[in-house]
Amino acid sequence: MQTTGVKHRVATPDCLPRAALPHHRVRCDPSTGVLTPGGGRINLRRQKASAIPSPTMTFRTEIDHVAARVNERLATLLDQEIGQSPTSGEVIAPLSEAMRYAALGGGKRLRPFLLIQAASLFGAPEDSALDAACALECIHCYSLVHDDLPAMDDDALRRGRPTVHIAFDEATAILAGDSLQTIAFETVSAPSCHDDPAIRAELTYLLAKASGWQGMALGQALDLAAEQRPFTPEETTAMQMLKTGALFRFACEAGAVLGRASAKDREALIRYASAFGQAFQLADDLLDAEGDAAAMGKAASKDAERGKATLVGLLGVDGAKAHLAGLVADAEGALAPFGGDAAMLIDAARFVAERRS
């Protein structure tokens, strides 16, 4: 299945990620953040879903390897930051414990995996991409801490454990999230991240765009707004591409930056990230609708209870599964220029479609 080329532009380029939005067009008012359909439609798959091939054991070994390396490096980075604190250990203990609890409490480390694999397409060694990958994971972990807060998604369970504001308290959770966010930018902008200051600067810029008010944060705001009024399929997809997809886009684009990829190759990875991010969110929504809370390590059926905008709610389970299969095919098609070198990234797309947690 061929992917869609770069054809659609939003009304204000800085309001949404610059990647092609292959299944919809939206317009975004930069003063309000309101997204409205701009004449395009999502290419929703109504046909019966085809079987998605399973990822290989090599993929599972590799993602476990990356997770172990990221965990080790994250622990070192956090220990360095805490060790350099000008205050006594007793004063900073609750905050530092909450930061470690949030950042080192499990997780597949999928975003770092994508970044490292994307960089490897262009010969960039794993070590040269590790700090950027850890910075990305710090942003992801901070976002989970804040998403779980009572004022946001109000979740009490994450990765099979009490969420940070339950395990500690709400104020400590907010500050732990804030601190992980700033550690991310300290890490990605530090000389230890990359020898070339131009690459560090571009990575820092891209991470700020992906995580801020034109990326993940705007997506979260729209997710909350969707509880107050019905969202169209176009608006729902645009919201999810910001809330969930922006960090996946950064992962793939950062890999291209680290590998000094050509503009054409970079655009191919952005198209992959677009389909991947949509597939990840759709699989997540299917898990919420059908999954087992014990297996997922978090509450299930919360989306419907809160009236959240999801494509599962709009398409039904069967329609959502068919659309998911098409998105995985789109992700694979975007990687065609890289041939067998992209096997791990193809397996990653298959992995998210069949995951159970």
- Residue 31 falls inside a structural domain: no
- Residue 210 falls inside a structural domain: yes
Question: How far is CA 10 from its chain centroid?
Answer: 21
Which residues 6+ apart lie within 8 Å of 154 measured at CB?
Answer: 148
* Cβ-contact 25, 39 below 8 angstroms: yes
- Residue 6 falls inside a structural domain: no
pLDDT in tens, 32-52: 333 443 434 445 554 455 567
- Residue 40 falls inside a structural domain: no
- Residue 102 falls inside a structural domain: yes
- CA torsion sign for 293, 297, 299, 304 is negative
Q: Classify the phi-psi angles of 128: left when phi > 0, otherwise alpha if psi is within -120 to 50, otherwise beta.
A: alpha
- Residue 11 falls inside a structural domain: no
Q: What's the pLDDT band for 25 if we cut at 50, 70, 90?
A: very low
- Residue 36 falls inside a structural domain: no
pLDDT in tens, 251-289: 999 999 999 999 999 999 999 999 999 999 999 999 988
- Structural domain that includes position 107: 50-354
Adjacent-strand bridge partners of 36: 27
Structural domains in the chain (count):
1
- Residue 269 falls inside a structural domain: yes
Q: What is the DSSP letter of 134?
A: H
286: domain CATH number? Answer: 1.10.600.10
pLDDT in tens, 171-211: 999 999 999 999 999 999 999 999 999 999 999 999 999 99
